[in-house]
Amino acid sequence: MNRTARAFWLNSPGEGEIREFTLPAPAADEVLVRALWSGVSRGTETLVFRGGVPASQHAAMRAPFQEGEFPAPVKYGYLSVGEVEEGPAELVGRTVFCLYPHQTRYVVPAAAVTVVPDSVPAERAILAGTVETAVNALWDAAPLVGDRIAVVGGGMVGCSVAALLARFPGVRVQLVDADPARAKTAEALGVDFALPPDALGECDLVVHASATEQGLTRALELLTAEGTVLELSWYGDRQVSLPLGEAFHSRRLVIRSSQVGTVSPARRANRTYADRLALALELLADPSLDALITGESVFEELPVVMPKLAAGEIPALCHRIRYDKSA
C-alpha cells in the first residue's frame, strides 16, 4: 500500500510549498485516507496565509489536524474529502469527509472521518465544514417563520447561511453584497439579492459575514427595533469601529457572536459535533450549493494559487483542489 504523502505547508507569510514524507501504518482504530478533493476556505485560509492570525488567537484558531504554529511554518486547512484505503472493514472504500489540511494521503482516527451520503457528490462534500458553520449559526440565531432576514456578505459562510434560510417557510431572505456578481449566486441559491445601499430594511435578523467594518455598520442599519445582528465574521488582527451611539440604545439593538468551535448552546444538550457535521453533509444533497464552488486547481498548483487567492486575483467563494487518483 502506498504510504507516500505530499502536503501543502505555509513556510512564511505569503509563501507556501509542497513537502513529501512517508506516513506511518494506521493503528487498529485509525484509517488511511487518499484525498480526492479539498477546499480552500478563502476567508480564514487566506488570513492564515497572510500571517494575520493575532497572537491572542493562536490557540483558538488551531485546525483539528494542524501541524506547526502560527504564523509559520504551519500546515493548515479543514475541508478534505477522500477514500478510505485502510482501516475498519466498514469504512474501507467509503468516501469520507475530514477536517484535514491539503494533503494527498493522511492517517487519522476512524472517529475523525464522516461518511459522505450517497446522495452527495464527493466534489460537493468539501463544503461540509462551511455548511456546518451555517447550521451552528442558525441554531444560534433561531429564525422564526415569517422573519425578515438579510445576510450581509456573500462569501462562503454568508452564502451557506442564505442557502439554508431559503428553505425556511415564509421568510424574506436577501443576500447583500458589494459585488454585483453575487446576484447570480443568490439566484442559484433561491434568494433575493441587493447591493448595500438598496437592501431592504426593518429586518428582524441580520446575519453578518462580510468581515468588513462597513458591512457590520450596514447590518445594524437594516435592523428593525430590537432586532439582532448575528456576527459570523472573523477580523483577525484588525480593529473595527461601530456607530454604537446614535439610535443603537434607543432601538435596543443586539449584536451577538457565533462561532463553529463550540456547538450552539441552543442544541448543546442533545447534539454533538458529529451530529452537526452529519446534518451538514445531509443538507449538501441540494445541488444549488454547487454555486458556492467557483474555481478549481490541481493540488500541485497550490503554492501558486494561494497567493493569488489571498491577493484577490482569483475571485472565489470556495476554490476546489483536485488530487491525482494515482498519487
Provide the b/e sequence for 258-289 (b: ≥16 CB within 10 Å). Answer: bebeebbeeeeeebebeebbbebbebbebeeb
- Predicted local confidence at residue 316, as pLDDT: 79
Residues 225-272: pLDDT tens digits? 999 999 999 887 788 899 898 889 999 999 999 989 899 999 999 999
CATH 3.40.50.720 intervals, the chain: 130-257
**What residue type is 117 in one-letter code?**
P
- Predicted local confidence at residue 100, as pLDDT: 98
Distance of CA 79 to the CA centre of its chain: 8
Rounded percentage of the chain residues whose pLDDT exceeds 70: 99
Mean pLDDT over 209-233 rounds to: 96
Is the pLDDT confidence value at 5 over 80?
Answer: yes
Question: Rounded to 10 degrees, what is the CA torsion of 83, 86, 87, 88?
Answer: 80
4-127+284-322 is classed CATH 3.90.180.10: yes
Burial of residue 327 (CB within 10 Å: 0-12, 13-18, 19+) is: middle
Residue among 280, 263, 260, 257 nearest 207 (CA): 257
CATH superfamily of 130-257: NAD(P)-binding Rossmann-like Domain (3.40.50.720)
Is the pLDDT confidence value at 311 over 80?
Answer: yes
Residues 155-185: pLDDT tens digits? 999 999 999 999 999 999 999 999 999 999 9
Q: Looking at 45-59, 110-124, 137-151, which range is the least confident one? A: 45-59
CATH 3.90.180.10 intervals, the chain: 4-127+284-322
C-alpha cell at 39: 477546499
Is the pLDDT confidence value at 65 over 90?
Answer: yes
Mean pLDDT over 309-321 rounds to: 91
In this structure, the chain runs to a length of: 327
Residues 22-64: pLDDT tens digits? 999 999 999 999 999 999 988 789 989 999 898 988 998 899 9
pTM (predicted TM-score): 0.91
Residues 76-96: pLDDT tens digits? 999 999 999 999 999 999 999
